Amino acid sequence: MTIETRIAVVEDAASLARIHRECFDLAWDEESFRHMLGRSGALAILGSERMGKNPLAFVLVEIAADQSEILSIATVPNARGSGFARILLRQAMDEARLRGATEMFLEVAHDNEAALALYDGFGFVMTGRRRSYYGRPGGAAADALNLRAILSASEGHGNDLRTRLD
């Protein structure tokens, strides 16, 4: 599969909301994405098999001064494992660095093994934990792990976040 990416614009808010809805129980709506994309420090990157097709994944980042934060990253369920997240994360980190950021932050559920493996490969380290942060329909809330990466040396540190969760 060939993955193509592009920077999202405000007109892509419906596609971002569609992907978010397919991936999360508490999804953001189109207006939320319009609002976010209208902010000066916002950056969203879309990924698809071919740009003529509907996007299948995105990453949404906010950049302020020398810091950046991943607000959301998502790949529709039937496209997971195809490399979208890895490509989008790399591009988001590169773009944030080009825009002056020296570090990137994010939150992830402590039991999201696929995401933890991805972030570990890009040099993210755990900086904190929020107990019972993510509510889950019909289940126990999940802890959120706060992660940080230095953008100038972000890939391949092998921190193995999954072994240091407790």
Average pLDDT, stretch 126-135? 95
| DSSP designation for 38 | T
User: Which of 86, 60, 45, 68 lies closest to 149 in space, CA to CA?
Assistant: 68
Q: Which amino acid is at 99?
A: R
Q: How confident is the model at residue 166 (pLDDT cuts 50, 70, 90)?
A: very low
Look over the chain and give the mean of its residue pLDDT values, rounded to a whole number. Answer: 91
pLDDT score recorded for residue 138? 83
**What is d(CA 60, CA 39) in angstroms, rounded to the nearest whole number?**
12
Q: How confident is the model at residue 79 (pLDDT cuts 50, 70, 90)?
A: very high
Residues 86, 90, 96, 102, CA torsion sign: positive
116 contacts 162 by C-beta, under 8 angstroms = yes
Q: Looking at residue 11, which CATH number applies to its domain?
A: 3.40.630.30
Please report, rounded to a whole number, the percentage of residues in the chain having pLDDT higher than 70: 90
Q: How confident is the model at residue 139 (pLDDT cuts 50, 70, 90)?
A: confident
pLDDT score recorded for residue 164? 42
Q: pLDDT tens for residues 7-62? A: 999 999 999 999 999 999 889 999 999 999 999 999 999 999 975 578 999 999 99
pLDDT score recorded for residue 9? 96
User: Which of 84, 92, 91 lies closest to 53 in space, CA to CA?
Assistant: 84
Residue 115 sits in which domain range? 4-163
Q: How confident is the model at residue 163 (pLDDT cuts 50, 70, 90)?
A: very low
pLDDT score recorded for residue 26? 87
Q: Give the count of domains, the chain.
A: 1
Q: How confident is the model at residue 165 (pLDDT cuts 50, 70, 90)?
A: very low
pLDDT score recorded for residue 100? 95
Structure tokens at 140: 């126990």
